[in-house]
Amino acid sequence: MGNVTGLRCLGCGADYQQAPIYVCDECFGPLEVRYDYDAIASAVSRELIESRPRNLWRYRELLPIDGEPTIGPYSGCTPLVKADRLARELGVDELYIKDDSVNHPTFSYKDRVVSVAISKAIEFGFTTVSCASTGNLANSVSAHAARAGLDCYIFIPDNLEQGKVVGSSIYGPRTVAVRGNYDDVNRLCSEIADKYGWAFVNINLRPYYTEGAKTYGYEVVEQLGWRLPGHIVVPTAGGTILPKIAKSFDEMRTTGLVEGDTPKIYTAQAAGCAPVVRALHEESKTIVPVKPDTIAKSIAIGDPADGYDVLDVVRSSGGWGESATDEEIVDAIQQLARCEGIFTEPAGGVTLAATRKLIEQGRIAGDEPIVVSITGNGYKTLEAVTGALEEPRVIDARLRDFDNLFEGLHSNRDQEMVGAKAAAG
Ligand SMILES: *Cc1c(COP(=O)(O)O)cnc(C)c1O
Ligand SMILES: [Zn+2]
């Protein structure tokens, strides 16, 4: 049933048969999955897709598996939330949150790429799966491996949030915390992948894994009523999801599922780890790796593997990039929660803070549909915001105590309003 015709090197164009490989023997360029798009175009239709169960495999013709999917029966099909209160605060007409903070089973966009990678690992006959991760990928690989009954090794930096660590360990993998940052972890894992022959979802299965990210874009289009948005803002860590969203839009046009202009695509990074945004701002052809220093740990990758793809896609779409300081990240997390009842982790704060700047700069037009990509859940990273929030008021279980508190809060508020009026007048 598969439509994959093989792998092709993006550097020199050499063709390969499907295998758990990720770099070209000739030129060390990255490999990408190739499809028979004519076959896909005659197989798919909007009606067929809409008739299928609400999970990411409803787009299976465009995903790189050959048999029936075995993993991810509840992943994907996350809400596209029309964010009217937030739109009003930002001064724009039509704003949507694509909310992967409620993805299944581990509350981030990584459940998409892992569903595809582990289905593929099972097709290839692997019995051990692994990954180098900033946290969310580890959570997802651990959970999916548990469900599939596979052995699992997880490699993470030694400074992650407790929610991200426990969010893997609970599923029973072997977790290895490496002293250093993600880039150190990743370098070690490339050597381990070569030596141990495991399925590293984001190393030797990378060509298949990254394809899972396309489902984020397919869903946006389907949920907009088979329409392309005008603008989409996407966080960048290693640079997987942003170019794959662009690819998803191209494929939907190639196969006749949607028509219209390519949306403008914008990258968002934390100010403490913004090598791609910096290259955009400096109009540079090269990405200079950085040492990350930000509360947005899930996207703290100083040397992004697919950073150049991000640059190409952003530039050719007519988009741009912005970064956000830790303070702006926390403020944006709170704004999203306050306006829309959605609690995102720092990566989502980065994306919203960047969106705000892009609107203020006039780069994002307020009268075209805008999609803000929320990719992870705030319950995993409570440390990031606790210091910024109002502490609970502690009282005894007596009505009089609450009456006093309520009165106090009210007279405070009245005073604040009197003060505000005086200041305004
Ligand atoms: C992994 C991740 C991203 C994006 O990573 P890419 O490597 O650029 O695809 C964004 N947000 C969250 C929460 C993540 O975990
Ligand atoms: Zn090559």
Q: pLDDT tens digits for the chain (425 residues)?
A: 689 999 999 999 999 999 999 999 999 999 999 999 999 999 999 999 999 999 999 999 999 999 999 999 999 999 999 999 999 999 999 999 999 999 999 999 999 999 999 999 999 999 999 999 999 999 999 999 999 999 999 999 999 999 999 999 999 999 999 999 999 999 999 999 989 999 999 999 999 999 999 999 999 999 999 999 999 999 999 999 999 999 999 999 999 999 999 999 999 999 999 999 999 999 999 999 999 999 999 999 999 999 999 999 999 999 999 999 999 999 999 999 999 999 999 999 999 999 999 999 999 999 999 999 999 999 999 999 999 999 999 999 999 999 999 999 988 766 666 555 566 54
Mutation pick for ligand 1 pocket among 99, 103, 109, 345 (CB with most ligand atoms within 8 Å): 109
User: What CATH architecture does domain 80-106+213-386 belong to?
Assistant: 3-Layer(aba) Sandwich (3.40)
Nearest CA to ligand 1 atom 7: 238
The number of the ligand nearest the C-alpha atom of 26 reads: 2
Atom of ligand 1 nearest to the CA of 236: 8
Using a 6 Å CB cutoff, which residues line ligand 1?
108-110, 136, 235-241, 298-299, 345, 347, 375-376
Nearest residue to 228 via CA among 251, 254, 260: 260
Q: Identify the nearest ligand to the CA of 32 by its number.
A: 2
Query: Counting ligands in written order, which one lies closest to the CA of residue 21?
Result: 2
Residue 32, number of CB atoms within 10 A of its CB: 17
CB atoms closer than 10 angstroms to residue 53: 9
Give, in order, the Cα–Cα distances in Å from 16 to each of 21, 23, 152, 205.
9, 10, 28, 14
d(CA 201, CA 110): 11
* DSSP string over 58-75: GGGGGSS-SS---S-TT-
Q: Is 118 helix (H, G, I), strand (E, B) or coil?
A: helix
Enclosing H/E stretch for 4: strand 4-9
Residues 6+ apart with CB under 8 A from 146: 152, 171, 172, 173
Q: Which atom of ligand 1 is nearest to the CA of 113?
A: 9
Compute the distance between CA of residue 215 and CA of residue 4 in angstroms, rounded to an integer: 16
**For residue 90, what are the contacts with CB-CB under 8 A and spacing of at least 6?**
355, 356, 359, 366
DSSP three-state, residue 6: strand
Q: How many CB atoms lie within 10 A of CB 415?
A: 10
Torsion-angle region of 262 (φ positive above 0: left; ψ -120 to 50: alpha; else: beta) = beta
Of 106, 241, 244, best ligand 1 pocket probe by most atoms within 8 Å of the beta carbon: 241
Dist CA 243 CA 312 (whole Å)? 9
Rounded to whole angstroms, the Cα distance separating 289 from 285 reads: 13
Whole-angstrom Cα distance, residue 261 to residue 203?
33
With CA atoms as reference, report the closest residue to 37 among 263, 258, 253, 261: 253
Best CA proximity match to 19, nearest among 131, 150, 130, 124: 124
The pLDDT score that the predictor gives to residue 402 is 97
| Nearest ligand 1 atom to alpha carbon 241 | 9
pLDDT at position 422 is 60
